[in-house]
Structure 1
């Protein structure tokens, strides 16, 4: 079995697990993850953040986005442009987001671009990951391409019940230094203190 096939198999397994998660668990883990993120000194000191917009059973990032906007941070969200490519576009209110490709809320096409090197903290999604920050995405390659050019602080958000220590990796897969679950923060695989 190729690495790509292993990834596809693991994606199918994780999607089944994700679909079976209780609504109460989703709500509680969303709230805990958001609270942990807001307590990170790296978030508090960041002037510009890049954050995905959670949809469906993904982690709800709206409280994070709202807090960042209300705190006067520069906030950018992904705008999918072509297959596998996204741009970082500035938003000033959640109401600006509109369903785009894959029905994911996105900034409008005329929202200002933000350069990758302007971002102080990137908050990224994953389908699953391990505590070392090796991520399994949804297969589009959008965030792999972002990570290939980004050198700032990066945190992966993942529900603890979807963590898998065995993640099939390919050469283009970049590990992320911080993983945040409802249990707390992990840095390079070890539990880390928040705040």
Structure 2
């Protein structure tokens, strides 16, 4: 199966989760993630979208304790910006909440850990995203810790790897951290 077919199948699987089931899976991942993020001060997360693991309780729980950064797409690049409340966010043309223009951009070297969204992953820690390559380009020369977040059912045996693909340092699900 090619990447697009895998991505499409995983979008359907995520969308088919019952609300109560998704909430329970999200809650377990949120608890694990809060523990995992404890030693880090500068944390890049993502604004959950399109049936992704709900990170809002984590984001809102850390705003006052840590430096929290969320991504904004600028053409072909993605940069991270400091956010301190929902007031710092606006909806993008894709329907994703992004930092407003006045938010402070952060350099890659200032981010201790980046939590990476994904549609699918394999045991070699490679992932499939939405196909824009934004995270692969960002992670290419990132020297911090990249932690992928997904549901365990998003695991597949093998991701077809291309030269531009960058793997995560670890992947966390409701069941385990790889």
TM-score strictly above 0.5: yes
Could you say which residue in structure 1 is the equivalent of 2:67?
74
Q: Is the contact made by 1:50 and 1:88 (CA closer than 8 Å) also made in structure 2?
A: yes
**Aligned position for 2:169:** 177
Residue in structure 1 matched with residue 91 of structure 2 by the alignment: 99
Q: How many equivalent pairs are there?
A: 178
- Whether the 8 Å contact between 1:155 and 1:180 is mirrored in structure 2 is yes
Whether the 8 Å contact between 2:64 and 2:84 is mirrored in structure 1 is no
Unaligned runs of 5+ in 2: none
Q: Which runs of 5+ in 1 are unaligned?
A: 187-195
Write out per-residue CA displacement over residues 104-147 of structure 1, whole angstroms, 9 at most, x where no aligned residue: 00000121110011000111100111233110011011101111
Correspondence for 1:152 = 144
Deviations 1:60-99 (CA, angstroms, capped at 9, x unpaired):
111111122132x1111001111x3111111011232111
Aligned twin of 1:61: 55
* SS class of match (1:10): helix
- Equivalent residue for 1:52? 46
Tell me the TM-score normalised to structure 1 length.
0.87
Q: CA RMSD in A?
A: 1.3
TM-score (norm 2): 0.95
- CA distance in 2: counterparts of 1:57 and 1:36, whole angstroms: 19
The answer for the alignment partner of 2:114 in structure 1 is: 122
Separation in structure 1 between the aligned mates of residue 165 and residue 107 of structure 2, nearest angstrom: 22
| Aligned with residue 8 of structure 2, among 9, 12, 29 | 12
Name the CA distance, whole Å, in 2 between partners of 1:158 and 1:131. Answer: 13
| Residue 32 of structure 1: aligned partner | 28
Cα deviation, 1:30-50, whole Å, max 9, x if unaligned, reads 11111001112xx21211011
Q: Which runs of 4+ in 1 moved over 4 A?
A: none
- Mapped partners of 2:175, 2:124: distance in 1: 15
Deviation at 1:167, TM superposition (A): 1.0
